[in-house]
Amino acid sequence: MSLHSGLNFLPQRNRLRLLQAGALSAVLMAVVMAGAVLRSSGGQTASLSDTLATPSVSTSTSEHISARPKAISENAAVSVALGKESDTAKYYERETGKAFSVNLKTLKTDVLSDTRLPGFIRSYWLPYSNKVVSEFQDPGGISYRAFDYQTKATTTIGSDIIALAVSPDGRQIAYMKPMEDASALFISDSDGSNPRTLITTRAQEVRLNWPVKDTLSMASRRPDRTGTDLSIIDLDGTLTIMMSNRENLEYVWSPDGTHLLYSYFTPEQGVSLWYREAGSRLDVPLGLATSARKCAWHDNTMTITCGVPAKNSLGRDVPADRSATVDDIATLDMSTGEQSRLYGGTGATLIGVIEPLVSSSGNYFVFTNLFDQRLYLFPL
C-alpha cells in the first residue's frame, strides 16, 4: 500500500548555545532570585513576582477579549504542524488519513493528499522536508512507515514501537522498542535506515522528545506507578535524571530546546505550571493552574499562550494525554510577568485546548478542540 501520508547534562558542544540563551533569561532570573528558597527535595523554587503568584488566570492583570476561536477544519484533525517560515498549518483528517494545508491568514485550505489510509493513527511531520513518519493499526499490530511527499517513496520502519521522536533538523528519528526483559532506544535515519542502539532501559510508559541536536528527553512512569521521571539522554548514551516522581507530569520544550515548561499535581496545590531553564535546578512557579500540555511557546521563548481551565478541574484523575476542561485562553510574558486573559471559555464557542501551537509570526494560536476534535485558530 502506498502511504501518502542542566548545562551539566548537555554535551560540551551545546553549552555555548545555552550560554547565549542565558542572556535571554537574565531578566527572569533577576526577578526570581530575590524570592528563591530551598525546596525540600534539594532543588530550588522561586516566586516569579506578585503578579505571577495569582492562583488562576481569571485574576490576571489585564483582559483583552476581542476575538473568538474559529474552526478551520471541517472534520476531526490530528498531527498538526505549523510552517517554520509561513503562517500555515498542515494536518491529517483523523477518520480518513487525508492530508490538508490551511493558510492561517486567508483560511484557504489545500488538499495535500486525497488518499484514504486504512488504519491510520497519526503522523510525525519532519521539519524542513516533505517527509512524514506515520503510525498505523495493521491486522498484526502497530506499524510505522516513512513517506516522502516529493518522491512518493514509502519505507517500512518497523512494528512494536512504543515511543518515537523526530530530531530538530528532521534528518533522524529516535524510537523505543520492547526487548525480552527491557526496552531499547534506537536512533536511525528518518526512513529507518542505519539504526543503532543508544540505551536499554526498564522504563515504562515512555514519552520521547528531541529538544536539541545532541540531546533527547524521556519521560517514563515509575515502576510503582506513583509518578513520572524526566530524564536527559545524550547521544553518547549518558542518561541523567532531570526531575523525578512528579504526579501527572506534563512538559513542553521551548522551540530552541533551552527552556522547559512543565506541570504536575500535588494534593496541596492541584495542578500548577512551572518553568525551568535547561541546565538549572531553579524551579519557577508561573501562577497558572493549568497543564503544560495546554500551553505553547512563542518563538521568542519567553512568552507562552495557554488554555487555562475556566474552573480548575485538573487533578489526579485527568488522563495523561488530554485535560478534559472548558478553557479560557491566556498569554504570559515571563520577561515582564504580565498576564492577559484573551478569551473566556464559557463564551459562545466552548473550547478545550489540546496540542496547541503558536505560529512563527506569533499572530495565531492553533489547537485541537477537545469537544469536537476539529482544528481551531485564535488570533493573538
How far, CA to CA in Å, does 165 sit from each of 4, 56, 142, 209? 20, 32, 16, 5
Cβ burial of 339 (10 Å; 0-12, 13-18, 19+) is: buried
Mean of pLDDT values over 4-31: 38
**DSSP summary character for residue 133:** E
**DSSP summary character for residue 23:** H
Establish if 124 belongs to a structural domain. Answer: no
Q: How far apart are CA 50 and CA 137, in angstroms?
A: 50
pLDDT tens for 312-330 read 444 444 443 445 788 999 9
pLDDT higher than 80, residue 91? yes
Establish if 153 belongs to a structural domain. Answer: no
Establish if 161 belongs to a structural domain. Answer: no
Cβ burial of 23 (10 Å; 0-12, 13-18, 19+) is: exposed
φ, ψ of residue 21 to 5 degrees: the values are -65, -25
Establish if 293 belongs to a structural domain. Answer: yes
Cell 532531570 sits at which residue?
Answer: 242
Establish if 193 belongs to a structural domain. Answer: no
Establish if 159 belongs to a structural domain. Answer: no
Q: How far apart are CA 231 and CA 233, in angstroms?
A: 7
Q: Strand, helix or coil at 164?
A: strand
pLDDT tens for 197-225 read 999 998 888 999 999 999 999 999 877 77
Establish if 127 belongs to a structural domain. Answer: no
Q: Say if pTM beats, i.e. exceeds, 0.75.
A: yes
Least confident of 18-22, 105-109, 353-357: 18-22
Residue 77 is predicted with a pLDDT of 98
- Helix axis angle, 26-33 relative to 12-24, nearest 10°? 70
Expressed as residue numbers, the domain containing 19 is: 7-117+203-379
Amino acid (1-letter code) at residue 64: H
Q: List the 303-309 sheet strands across, edge first.
A: 62-63, 338-343, 327-333, 303-309, 295-297
Residue 313 is predicted with a pLDDT of 46
Q: Which residues, 6 or more positions from 78, have their beta carbon under 8 angstroms from its beta carbon?
A: 91, 92, 93, 94, 122, 123, 368, 373
Average pLDDT score, the chain: 82
Residue 7 is predicted with a pLDDT of 30
CATH number at residue 90: 2.130.10
Overall domain count for the chain = 1
Q: How far apart are CA 178 and CA 159, in angstroms?
A: 10
Confidence of residue 300 (pLDDT cuts 50, 70, 90): confident
φ, ψ of residue 260 to 5 degrees: the values are -125, 125
Establish if 167 belongs to a structural domain. Answer: no
Q: How far apart are CA 48 and CA 167, in angstroms?
A: 32
Q: Are 175 and 164 in contact (CB under 8 A)?
A: yes
